[in-house]
Amino acid sequence: MFELLAGRHTIASTQLTLGEPEQVVILKGAWEATLVELKELVNPATYDRWISTLTPVGRTGSVISLATNGEFARQWITRKFTEMLAASLSSALGEPVTVQIVLDENAKTEQAPPPSVAKKKPSGSEPAIRRPGFISKYTFDRFVEGNSNRLALAGAQAVAAQPGKKFNPLFIYGGPGLGKTHLLHAIGQQVLARDARSRIVYLTGQVFAEEFIHSVKTGRVGEFRSMQRSVDIWLVDDVQLIAGKDRTQEELFHTFNFLYEGGRQIVICSDRPPRELYLMEERLRSRFESGLVADISPPDFETRAAILIKKAEEEGVELPMDVVDLMADRIQSNIRKLEGSLCRLLAEASLAGRPPTVEMAEEVLRSFFEDTNAGKPSPEALIEASADYHGVTMEEVMGKGRRQAITRARQVAMYLCREVWSLPWKQIGTLFRKDHSSAIYAHKSIGEELVRRPDQQRVLDEIVEAARSKRQH
Ligand code: ADP
Ligand code: MG
């Protein structure tokens, strides 16, 4: 068995250097591809809570060992995810493997509070909090600034420098894979680097909901509450995941107010702006809007190129400009995918024993798109499925007609293009030969309707399903 990586939370790709033993490089590349795939397959909260804690630590024959940071996590991941992990790793490696989840050797020491904390804060004064499992590479110096993320980055840096002083709350929103979680972790890690005693809670909306419900069931709400309310910095990721959960929202609202009034820093991330969180109570939405609201949009070409160059540099590889051009041109909307494909490219190049070329990049992009777009119906398929469902034609949906069924089919199709693909408003407008304001309006009215009639979600799911099956024909 060979040892792979030392620390936990180090994601394999960051350590990829050329000239390592071939086996290690292959496993690292496969692991990165597995992460990218699972990120698509499981919900974000599950990914952050369980999958992202894993680190490949070695291989014996066909058994891959993945380490996590606690006994409970080890058992949970073993029960729930080993098959999925094995399937994904097998396909990435091109040979069948099985997976065993082991306990990280460093976990015990890392989870115990540092001695200074124990001395300065005698037990009993404040409830114990878990030290957040920040991903070590999600720091400010590894975050590439661009027009698309400038405000969010500036807000996050200000908050990390002076928590609770400037922008409170800070609300960051944007589509998947654009760096929201990266910024939250960067804030947390910078604050901890300055003062290891800072009380920081990082959790996703989903985890907040799960832990709250668990505390209700076990009669420990008081404990849950005092823990959440004892923090200096409260980082809530993917808050959209509590939409529609009434009691959880209520609890979040009170926690928010308690912390806010105490001058503690609150940072919230979401996949959409507060006013589009239709299934959330109005009072919560307006609280979210009361500080700085910053969006992260998809990066422009220059930023995508800068990210590729920087990430390759971090691996000690200089990318030829034509390779940068090609990759930055093809992968536009999601930095996670940009990273995933770069990682595959570097693994390929390392195996081939020569620098990455445009031909290699073409090949990697081809297989990458086949893998990651599987299952997502194209915008055209969504439009067609919505037209079918409402008994109108695609031409009518794209045309100017205002008959009720046509308008309805059009609005639903616009809404789904936004939900499934996170397309920019302008692009949706163009796609439907309308302007961006009609796309925004359509999204808003369908979203609001879902609040009044949640059962309508079933109809939308059906349309997406129909679109998905079109794609295969
Ligand atoms: P989100 O939470 O918005 O879905 P993440 O924060 O998980 O996205 O980012 C996805 C990946 O892209 C991460 O590996 C992150 O480090 C990387 N990333 C995103 N934005 C940037 C950036 N501006 N510079 C460097 N890396 C970035
Ligand atoms: Mg995230």
Nearest ligand for residue 153 CA: 1
The predicted-structure confidence for 84-100, as pLDDT tens digits, reads as follows 888 888 777 777 788 98
pLDDT reported for residue 378? 86
Cα gap 14→37, rounded to integer Å: 18
Which position has the higher pLDDT, 320 or 426?
320
Give residues whose Cβ lies within 5 Å of ion ligand 2.
180-181
> Does position 130 have pLDDT exceeding 80, yes or no?
no
The predicted-structure confidence for 228-269, as pLDDT tens digits, reads as follows 999 999 999 999 988 878 899 999 999 999 999 999 999 999
Q: In whole angstroms, how large is the CA radius of gyration of the chain?
A: 23
Q: What are 433's two structure tokens? A: 């030969």
Cα distances (Å, whole numbers) of residue 220 to 63, 212, 214, 256, 331: 40, 9, 8, 19, 47
- What residues form DSSP beta bridges with 399? none
CA of 431 to the centre of ligand 1 (A): 27
Which residue among 40, 270, 335 has the greatest number of ligand 1 atoms within 8 angstroms of its CB, and so is best to mutate? 335
Cα gap 211→217, rounded to integer Å: 10
Q: What are 298's two structure tokens? A: 């998809």
CA of 465 to the centre of ligand 1 (A): 29
For the chain, the residue count is 473
4-18, 56-70, 357-371, 373-387: the lowest-pLDDT one: 4-18
pLDDT reported for residue 12? 38
* Coil, helix or strand at residue 293: strand
pLDDT reported for residue 2? 47
Strand 63-68 relative to strand 292-296, pairing: unpaired
pLDDT reported for residue 19? 40
The predicted-structure confidence for 378-432, as pLDDT tens digits, reads as follows 888 999 999 999 999 999 999 999 999 999 999 999 999 998 888 888 889 988 9
> Does position 330 have pLDDT exceeding 50, yes or no?
yes
Q: What are 228's two structure tokens? A: 């959440």
Q: What is the largest CA-CA distance in the chain?
A: 72
Mean pLDDT score of the chain: 85
pLDDT reported for residue 63? 86
pLDDT reported for residue 255? 95
> Does position 9 have pLDDT exceeding 50, yes or no?
no
3-state helix, strand, coil in the chain (%, to 5): 60, 10, 30
Q: Whose CA is nearest to atom 6 of ligand 1?
A: 179
Per cent of the chain over pLDDT 70 is: 88
pLDDT reported for residue 59? 82
Nearest ligand for residue 334 CA: 1
> Does position 15 have pLDDT exceeding 50, yes or no?
no
CA of 181 to the centre of ligand 1 (A): 7
> Does position 284 have pLDDT exceeding 70, yes or no?
yes
**pTM for this entry:** 0.63
147-161, 187-201, 417-431: the lowest-pLDDT one: 417-431
Cα gap 303→154, rounded to integer Å: 16
- CA 343, 345, 351: angle at the middle one, nearest 5? 105
Residues 6+ apart with CB under 8 A from 409: 386, 387, 389, 390, 392, 396, 397
> Does position 354 have pLDDT exceeding 70, yes or no?
yes
Please name the amino acid found at residue 132.
Answer: P
Residues with CB under 6 A from ligand 1: 138, 142-144, 149, 174, 176-182, 307, 335-336, 339
> Does position 49 have pLDDT exceeding 60, yes or no?
yes
Cis status, amide bond into 424, omega within 30 of 0? no
Cα gap 210→218, rounded to integer Å: 12
Q: Give the burial string for 83-117 (b: 16+ CB within 10 Å, else e).
A: ebbbbbbbbbbeeebebbbeebeebeeeeeeeeee
> Does position 111 have pLDDT exceeding 50, yes or no?
no
Which position has the higher pLDDT, 26 or 195?
195
> Does position 326 have pLDDT exceeding 90, yes or no?
yes
